[in-house]
Amino acid sequence: MMNNDDTIDPALATRFAALRSELAGHEAPRCVEKELLQAFARQFPKQQPWYRKLSLPQWGAAGALASLGGAGVLATLLLALAPHQAITVGPPLIGIDDGAAFIALESLERIAREPSTRVVEAELPQTALAPLGMPLNPQTAGGMVRAEMLVAEDGHPLALRLSAVN
């Protein structure tokens, strides 16, 4: 028996010593330790970190989505924070809007470098104006807007002037 002071009873101590000396010559059969470790691993599997649960193609897809999302956010921030300057380009070819200013879609340097530009009348969906900061009303979102566009020689729009809402 054990006493309160954590000392072993002398009668038990001699029997424990005899048991230790008798078991010292015994060895466990081969592969028992290996089988015990395998059984323990099956019963208590090691938890993998979350990032090791994804395969290489899944990581590639996640990286592509993150890049696209980051590029979209960056483009939106740059467009929202970029100073939009209104420019005028000569007398208006179509006098619908009484000579209002153009809204630059490209940099002023790019517009100035163009050797020949032309003004083209176009009808745009109102949803196309939302990225330019124009308010969008859900009731009239399907409507069209008449606009004049300053177009480069290659057909790329450089500036926009709203004419009327249909």
The tens digit of pLDDT for each residue in 30-69 reads: 788 888 888 988 998 888 888 788 888 888 888 888 888 8
Residue 96's pLDDT is 43
Select from 162, 122, 123 the least CA-distant residue to 143. Answer: 123
Q: Across residues 140-146, what is the average pLDDT? A: 79
The amino acid that residue 121 corresponds to is E
Q: Do 87 and 161 form a contact (C-beta atoms < 8 A)? A: no
Q: What is the pTM of this model?
A: 0.36
d(CA 36, CA 39): 5
Beta-carbon count within 10 A of 145 CB: 20
- Residue ranges of alpha helices (H) inside 24-107 are 32-43, 56-81
Whether pLDDT at 165 is above 60: no
Residue 97: pLDDT over 50: no
If we measure between CA atoms, which residue out of 153, 142, 149 comes closest to residue 163?
Answer: 149
Q: Output the six-digit token pair for 118.
A: 């032309």
How far apart are the C-alpha atoms of 23 and 33, rounded to whole Å? Answer: 17
Is it the case that residue 85 has pLDDT exceeding 60? no
Summary mean pLDDT of the chain:
77
The pLDDT of residue 87 is above 80: no
